[in-house]
C-alpha cells in the first residue's frame, strides 16, 4: 500500500468522480483508476461502487476512509516535523474563523506567516465555535478563533484570550431609541431581533444576558452572515447585538452601549495534545504581534 494510493482514494471520495479526482491530483485518470484497482485487489475488497455516471463508497470504503486519511496526515506530519528541525516548515495550516473576529488582524497575521513559511498550504474555514473545538480535538483543524459567552471557556483544547468585550445594541438611525446614550436590556423587550442561530455560541451570549435579567425577546431573523445582519438592521427590521468594532460608520446605523449587555470573550484555540509545527509558528506570530495572553 502506497501513500499515493491513499491520496487517490481520498480524492475520489471527495469528488465522487474519477475525472475530477485525477485533475485534483494532477494525474491522468487511467493512472488513478489503475492504482485504486491495485489497492482494492491488495486489500481484497472494493472501495468504490462505479457506474458510467455515478461513483459511491462501498461499505468497506466508508470503513477504510478514516484510517486512510489519518495515515496520510500522519505521514505528512512526519515530514513536516522532520523539516521543522532544520528551520523549514512544510505541510498544512488549517484555520477556523468565526464571523465576528475583532481581537486580532487575522489577515496581517496570515500575511506574516505566509512570508515566513511560503510552502505551507493554508486553508481557512468559517463556522461555529463548538464545531471548531470538536475539529481541533479530532485533529482535523490546527487553530481557530472562537467567540464564547464571557462565563464560558473552551475545554479540552489549549487557548489564549484575544479580547473581552460587552456587546452593544445596533439600531437603524431612525429607530425610536436611536438617540439614547445608554440602554438596558429591559428597554429592548418589545423589539424584534436578528441573531445567530439558536443553540450556537454566537447566540448563547445574548440569550444568557436576557435570561439573567428575566427579560424575554423575540428573535425574528436568524443568520450567520454579519453583513446580512447589519443590512436587516439598517432596513429597520430588527435590532442586533454585536461588537461595536463590527458596526460600520456609513450604513445608517447607531451603536448604543448596554448597561447589562452580553459579555463575550474571543479566544485563540489549538490542540493541547500535539500541535503541528505550522500551528506553533502561527501561534508564535500572534503572541509576538497581537498581545495574545
Q: What is the pLDDT of residues 14-32, one digit of tens each?
A: 888 888 888 888 889 999 9
As beta bridge partners, residue 256 has: 169
Q: What is the pLDDT of residue 252?
A: 92
pLDDT of 293: 47
pLDDT of residue 80: 66
**What is d(CA 98, CA 111) in angstroms, rounded to the nearest whole number?**
19
pLDDT of residue 143: 95
Mean pLDDT for 231-250 is 94
Percent of residues, the chain, with pLDDT higher than 90: 56
The three grid cell numbers given for residue 45, joined into one nine-digit string:
475488497
* Order of all β-strands in the sheet with 263-270: 121-126, 92-97, 143-149, 263-270, 158-166
Contact criterion met (CB below 8 Å) for 149 and 132: no
Place of cell 528541525: 85
Q: Kindly state the helix (H) or strand (E) to which residue 254 belongs, with its residue range.
A: strand 253-256
pLDDT at 275: 86
Rounded CA gap, 283 and 293, in Å? 11
Cβ atoms of 144 and 269 closer than 8 Å: yes
Instruction: Write down the mean pLDDT value for the chain.
Output: 89
Fold annotation for 92-163+266-289: D-Maltodextrin-Binding Protein; domain 2 (3.40.190)
CA distance 135 to 104: 21
Between strands 192-195 and 218-222, the pairing is: parallel
Interatomic CA distance for residues 112 and 118, integer angstroms: 10
Cβ–Cβ under 8 Å, residues 97 and 144: yes
Contact 100, 246 (CB under 8 A): yes
The mean pLDDT of 177-193, rounded to a whole number, is 96
Q: What does the pLDDT look like over 55-65, one tens digit per residue?
A: 899 899 899 98
The pLDDT of 178-201, averaged and rounded, is 95
CB 144 within 8 A of CB 95: yes
| Residue pair 232/150 in contact by the 8 Å Cβ criterion | no
Q: Do domains 3-84 and 92-163+266-289 have the same CATH topology?
A: no
Q: For position 69, what pLDDT does the model report?
A: 83
Give the CA radius of gyration of the chain.
24
Tell me the CATH number for domain 3-84: 1.10.10.10
CATH code at 168-261: 3.40.190.290
* Cα angle 106, 110, 113; round to 5: 140
The dihedral of CA 235, 236, 241, 244: what is its sign? positive
pTM over 0.85: no
* pLDDT (average), residues 164-172: 95
Q: Stretch 127-146: mean pLDDT, rounded?
A: 90
pLDDT category at 47 given cuts 50, 70, 90 is: very high
Domain positions in the chain are 3-84, 92-163+266-289, 168-261
Question: Of the ranges 17-31, 66-80, 158-172, which is most confident?
Answer: 158-172
| Number of other CB atoms surrounding residue 181 within 10 Å | 6
Residues 233/219, Cβ–Cβ less than 8 Å: no
DSSP 8-state secondary structure symbol assigned to residue 247: -
Is the pLDDT at 292 greater than 60? The verdict is: no
Alpha-carbon distance 76 to 149, whole Å? 36
Q: What is the pLDDT of residues 86-129, one digit of tens each?
A: 566 878 899 999 999 998 899 999 999 999 889 888 999 998 89
How confident is residue 142, by pLDDT bands cut at 50, 70 and 90? very high
Tell me the helices (H) and strands (E) count for the chain, helix number first: 9, 12
Q: What are phi and psi of 207, to 5 degrees?
A: -60, -40
Amino acid at each position: 500500500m502506497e501513500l499515493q494510493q491513499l491520496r487517490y482514494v481520498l480524492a475520489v471520495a471527495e469528488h465522487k468522480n474519477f475525472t475530477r479526482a485525477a485533475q485534483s491530483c494532477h494525474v491522468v485518470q487511467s493512472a488513478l483508476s489503475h492504482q485504486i484497482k491495485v489497492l482494492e485487489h491488495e486489500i481484497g475488497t472494493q472501495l468504490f461502487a462505479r457506474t458510467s455516471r455515478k461513483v459511491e463508497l462501498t461499505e468497506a470504503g466508508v470503513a477504510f476512509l478514516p484510517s486512510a486519511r489519518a495515515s496520510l496526515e500522519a505521514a505528512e506530519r512526519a515530514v513536516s516535523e522532520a523539516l521543522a528541525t532544520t528551520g523549514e516548515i512544510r505541510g498544512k495550516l488549517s484555520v477556523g474563523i468565526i464571523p465576528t473576529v475583532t481581537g486580532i488582524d487575522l489577515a496581517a497575521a496570515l500575511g506574516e506567516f505566509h512570508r515566513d513559511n511560503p510552502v505551507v498550504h493554508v486553508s481557512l474555514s468559517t463556522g461555529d465555535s463548538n464545531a471548531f473545538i470538536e475539529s481541533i480535538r479530532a485533529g482535523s483543524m490546527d487553530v481557530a478563533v472562537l467567540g464564547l459567552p464571557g462565563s464560558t471557556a473552551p475545554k479540552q483544547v489549549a487557548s489564549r484570550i484575544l479580547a473581552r468585550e460587552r456587546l452593544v445594541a445596533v439600531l437603524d438611525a431612525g429607530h425610536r431609541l436611536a438617540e439614547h446614550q445608554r440602554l438596558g436590556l429591559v428597554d429592548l423587550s418589545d423589539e424584534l431581533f436578528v441573531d445567530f442561530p439558536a443553540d450556537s455560541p454566537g447566540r448563547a451570549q445574548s440569550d444568557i444576558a436576557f435570561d439573567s435579567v428575566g427579560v424575554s425577546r423575540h428573535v425574528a431573523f436568524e443568520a450567520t452572515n454579519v453583513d446580512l445582519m447589519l443590512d436587516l438592521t439598517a432596513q429597520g427590521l430588527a435590532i442586533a447585538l454585536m461588537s461595536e468594532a463590527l458596526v460600520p460608520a456609513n450604513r445608517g446605523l447607531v451603536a448604543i452601549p448596554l448597561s447589562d449587555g452580553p459579555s463575550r470573550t474571543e479566544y485563540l484555540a489549538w490542540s493541547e495534545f500535539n500541535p503541528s509545527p505550522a500551528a506553533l509558528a502561527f501561534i508564535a506570530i500572534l503572541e509576538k504581534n497581537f498581545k495574545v495572553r
